[in-house]
């Protein structure tokens, strides 16, 4: 991973940022990008090995990110972790709801238990993490929440119906929070990535046939990298996007 960040946003220096699912993939790129801007970053994940490797890589940053192991499906643990971070680092100013899991599944195989699990890891934690940080943002009169959606919702991809449903819910959540909390100075937006070249995607889903279809359908004939998504998150967290809220920002290479 590279920590090259393109634009520099002085307003992000010292800003307190929490990123869920920050140990790998897009989340790790976001952790690196915000840390390179001089932000005070905390990230949540279950993967302690990848988190340790990321922290080692980011040693030169002005503020070394803080890692907390947290099961986002355990709402009590999530609430306690966010409260502890607010007490130690200060109130959260930017929340990036990134964590998700795009496990493939057939409609006919979905049980109530699998439904609850996939909704928990892909949607429910975004709502409750936002709920936890909103009071401090309201008191401050400003704040930013960035939710991660997916192009699968826009295109209605097969073989992951609960994931697609959850990502549709993320768009609805974004619009609802933006409207409700806009009067308090809180901006809420959604990033909708296309197929991003993460290690997980390469390991699980990348085949010559799938890559050929991606290349055919994209207007821009290149891979979307995690760092590309991170740069968009930087913009949405910065004051340069001060009048952007309730919007879906698609980054899919024109797919």
Whether the predicted pLDDT of 41 surpasses 50 = yes
What is the C-alpha separation between 116 and 124, in angstroms, rounded? 9
Average pLDDT over residues 112-127: 96
Q: Which fold has domain 10-250?
A: Rossmann fold (3.40.50)
Catalytic residue among 9, 153, 163, 181: 163
How does pLDDT run across 172-186, given as a tens digit for each residue? 999 999 999 999 999
Residue 4's CB is within 10 A of a number of other CB atoms, namely 10
Is 163 among the catalytic positions? yes
Name residue 77's beta-bridge partners: none
Residue 92, token pair as written in the block: 């959260």
Spatial distance between the Cα atoms of 136 and 119, rounded to a whole number of angstroms = 26
Task: Decide if pLDDT at 3 tops 60.
Answer: no
Cβ atoms within 10 Å of 165's Cβ, excluding its own: 17
Segment 67-81 shows an average pLDDT of 97
**Once rounded to an integer, what is the mean pLDDT over residues 18-29?**
97
Query: Are 121 and 99 in contact, with CB atoms under 8 Å apart?
Result: yes
Per-residue buried b or exposed e for 181-192, using 16+ beta carbons within 10 Å of the residue's own CB: beeeebbbbbbb
- Residue 32 carries which DSSP code? H
pLDDT band at 6 (very low <50, low <70, confident <90, very high): confident
Mean pLDDT of the region 83-95: 97
pLDDT top residue among 65 and 159: 65
The predicted model scores a pTM of: 0.94
Residue 2 clears pLDDT 70, i.e. is over it: no
15 pLDDT higher than 70? yes
Half-sphere exposure for 240 (CA within 13 Å, toward CB): 13
| Residue 5: per-residue pLDDT | 54
Domain ranges of the chain: 10-250
Least confident of 26-40, 93-107, 166-180, 206-220: 206-220
| Count of C-beta atoms within a 10 Å radius of residue 68 | 18
Q: Give residue-wise pLDDT tens across range 185-231.
A: 999 999 999 989 888 877 876 788 888 988 898 999 999 999 999 99
């Amino acid at each position: 991973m590279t920590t090259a960040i393109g634009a520099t946003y002085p307003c992000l220096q010292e800003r307190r940022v929490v990123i869920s699912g920050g140990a790998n993939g897009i989340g790790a790129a976001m952790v690196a990008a915000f840390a390179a801007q001089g932000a005070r970053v905390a990230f949540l994940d279950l993967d302690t090995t990848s988190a340790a490797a990321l922290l080692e890589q980011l040693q030169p940053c002005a503020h070394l990110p803080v890692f907390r192991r947290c099961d986002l499906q355990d709402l009590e643990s999530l609430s306690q972790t966010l409260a502890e971070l607010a007490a130690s680092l200060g109130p959260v100013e930017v929340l990036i709801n990134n964590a998700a899991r795009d496990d493939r599944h057939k409609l006919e195989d979905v049980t109530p238990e699998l439904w609850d699990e996939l909704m928990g890891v892909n949607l429910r934690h975004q709502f409750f993490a936002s709920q936890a940080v909103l009071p401090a943002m309201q008191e401050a009169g400003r704040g930013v929440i960035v939710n991660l959606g997916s192009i699968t919702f826009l295109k209605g991809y097969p073989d992951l119906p609960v994931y697609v449903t959850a990502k549709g819910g993320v768009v609805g959540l974004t619009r609802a929070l933006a409207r409700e909390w806009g009067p308090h100075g809180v901006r809420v937006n959604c990033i909708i990535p296309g197929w991003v070249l993460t290690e997980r995607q390469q390991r699980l889903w990348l085949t010559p046939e799938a890559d050929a279809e991606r290349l055919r359908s994209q207007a821009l004939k290149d891979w979307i990298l995690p760092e590309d998504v991170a740069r968009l998150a930087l913009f949405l967290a910065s004051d340069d996007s001060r009048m952007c809220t309730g919007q879906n920002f698609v980054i899919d290479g024109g797919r």
